[in-house]
Each structure stands twice: as structure tokens, then as C-alpha cells.
Amino acid sequence: MQCSGRILAQSRGWSQLRLSDEVLTTLSAVNGWVLGAVLVLSGVAGILLVVHLIRDRVVEDGMFVLLGVIELVLIGQLVAGCVALAQTDRDVSGALFVSYLIGNLCALPIGAFWSLAERNRAGTAVLLLAVLTVAALEVRLDAIWAGAV
């Protein structure tokens, strides 16, 4: 209560500018961590899937749990990304950015569903393609945020 009162009281002065800067810095740090987390997790999933492919082992529940964890991080990224986009005054192509955030959410569920009918190497390959898609979209997302596209 006291805190929000202070912020309100200062909101007309220079401190509001500093506050929004702080929020922005925190958010881009969060986005950096999310990006790293998605890349590391999808890297681990990718390696595991390649091992499964080579050894011709059917993917089991543990792998789907890992893919579910990646999906949860991606949902968090959608929220954090939209907030960061609303806050930033950088020249980021908004529609492109959000469409990549949403597109990235679709790859794993569709891939997992699509792989279920083929419980063999081909199904594992579908999952690998889905994970690679997520990693590729993630890299592009970072480039779009940096304003390169």
C-alpha cells in the first residue's frame, strides 16, 4: 500500500521513467533466460530422440513429460514476450513476433499427436522434427526481438 502510494506520488516525475526502464531490463533478462532454457531443453530432447532413433527404441512417457515441460516454458514465454513487446519502444515487428510466439506453441502438441499413430522410428523422427522446429523458431524469435528482421 505504502509502496504503491509512493510510486503514484512519483509517477509524474523522472522516477517513472526509471521504473519502466527497470521493468524492461528485468523482462529482457527473463526473456534471455527463457530463450536459453528452451534451447537447452530442446537440445537435450533432440539428443535423446536421436539416441532413440539409432537404437530403434520406442519413445516412452518420460520423453513426453520432457516435451510437456518445454511446452510449459513456451507458454510462459508467450506471456512474458507479449508483456515485453507492449513495454518496449524498440522497433520490433509486433505481428511477426507474436505469430512466432504462438506458432512455437503449436509445434510440439501437433508433433506429439502426429507421432502417436506411428510408434516406431518414423514416430520418433516426427518428434525430432517437432523439437528442431521449436529450436529453429526460438532462434528466429531472438533475431526478430533484436530487430534484425
The residues binding other proteins (CB under 8 A) are: 95-96, 99, 103, 107, 110-111, 114-115, 117-118, 122-123, 125-126, 129-130, 133, 136
Q: Output 84 or 137, the one with its CB closest to other proteins.
A: 137
Cα angle 76, 79, 83 (rounded to 5 degrees) comes to 140
Closest approach of other proteins to the CB of residue 80, in Å? 22
Look up cell 506411428; give the residue: 118
Q: How far apart are CA 14 and CA 45, in angstroms?
A: 47
The backbone torsions φ and ψ at residue 91, rounded to the nearest 5 degrees and listed phi first, read -85, 75
Q: Output 29 or 96, the one with its CB closest to other proteins.
A: 96
Closest approach of other proteins to the CB of residue 133, in Å? 5
